[in-house]
Amino acid sequence: MSIRARGLSKKYGTQTAVNAIDFSINTGEVVGFLGPNGAGKSTTMRMLTCYLPPSSGDAEVQGLNVLNSPEKVKRLVGYLPEHNPLYPEMYVREYLHFVADLSGWKGDRKKRVEEIVDLTGLRREVNKRIQQLSKGYRQRVGLAQALIHDPQVLILDEPTSGLDPNQVVEIRKLITEIGKDKTVLLSTHIMQEVEAMCDRVVIIDRGNIVADSNLEELQKEYGGNAHFVRFKKQIDAQQLVEIEGVESTESVGKGEYRLRHSIPGDIEEKLFAWAVEHNNVLLEQRAEKQNLEQIFRTLTNGNNG
């Protein structure tokens, strides 16, 4: 067990940011920590990295309690906060040397910094001041910072936020590569990110965990029986509920409807029969694999995802 939270809570005054959450992450897993803005992702990560003390409950990293042995936990964890903490006036190499020094790197510091520079693709930028770098490269510097002491656990808070699509792909590739032999917990509010990088997903909403499973299970559980259908004539979406087994419907376009049902086998036939009966023409229908985006919206009540 690499990370484990038990009844972990954080209150700010009367406001509960994280409400007694339990989860655990196995060694070597890449887990996506998903939730709308303000759901408590950052707060949880800050507790795991010993930045904020929990209000109650506790957390362990590699079997070490964050309250009892913060120094040891800090040595084991590489952390990239949501707001990338850079000193704009420093040179890239200078910054990495400083962080290596700060993290108490015992070995050959020079060699280590050069290794990380190559690993994160910063070779060409290494002699620039951080303020001269583009956002994508700054993010790489942030990752390099988190990696410099070769931590066993990586905690990355929205590592790709604010990057352009190319940079996003590059950073994801980098994280996937690094994640091969480390435990990674990364937060995001973008679903594709989880699909691209993670083995498992923990969804949090308003301080509570609303889902914790691997992606396939999640899709099976929440998106199993979605069906898309298109009629020639527009109808009231509610009319479709009269078909036995249809649970809910929504209109998604002109004459296009999405319905959720509990009859996996013969929904097609029933819809066809229904169309004939109502003097309508069925133009198209298909079973839909509900994507993560929709699952996320369902689970977090359509909060600003």
Partner 1 sequence: MGSIFRKEIRSYLSSLIAYITIVVFLLAIGLFMWVYPDTNALDYGYASLETLFTMAPWVFIFLISALCMRTFAEERKARTIELLATHPVSEWQIILGKFFAAWVIVLFAILPTLLYFFTIDKLGSPPGNIDAGATWGSYLGLLFLGGCYVSIGLFASSLTDNQIVAFILSIFLCFFFFSAFVQISKFEFWSAQSGMVEWIGISYHYDSISRGVIDTRDLIYFASFMAVFLGFTKYQFSRRTW
What residue type is assigned to position 238 of the chain?
Q
291 binds partner 1 (CB under 8 A): no
77 binds partner 1 (CB under 8 A): yes
Distance of alpha carbon 1 from alpha carbon 41, whole angstroms: 20
Can you tell me which of 18, 47, 50, 197 binds partner 1, judged by CB under 8 A? Answer: 50
How far does the chain reach from its first CA to its final CA, in angstroms? 30
Can you tell me which of 11, 24, 51, 208 binds partner 1, judged by CB under 8 A? Answer: 51
Can you tell me which of 22, 83, 273, 289 binds partner 1, judged by CB under 8 A? Answer: 83
Can you tell me which of 16, 98, 150, 272 binds partner 1, judged by CB under 8 A? Answer: 98
Can you tell me which of 1, 22, 26, 87 binds partner 1, judged by CB under 8 A? Answer: 87
Long-range Cβ pairs for the range 263-266 (8 Å, 24+): 263/225, 264/224, 264/225
Distance of alpha carbon 261 from alpha carbon 228, whole angstroms: 11
Q: Return the residues of window 136-155 that contact partner 1 according to CB under 8 A.
A: 145
State in angstroms the smallest separation of the CB of 70 from partner 1: 8
- Using alpha carbons, select from 256, 232, 183 the residue that is nearest to residue 31: 183
What residue type is assigned to position 99 of the chain?
V
Q: Is residue 289 within 8 Å of residue 264, measured between CB atoms?
A: no
State in angstroms the smallest separation of the CB of 121 from partner 1: 21
Q: What is the binding site for partner 1 (CB under 8 A)?
A: 46, 49-52, 71-72, 74-75, 77, 79, 81, 83, 85-90, 94, 98-99, 101-104, 145
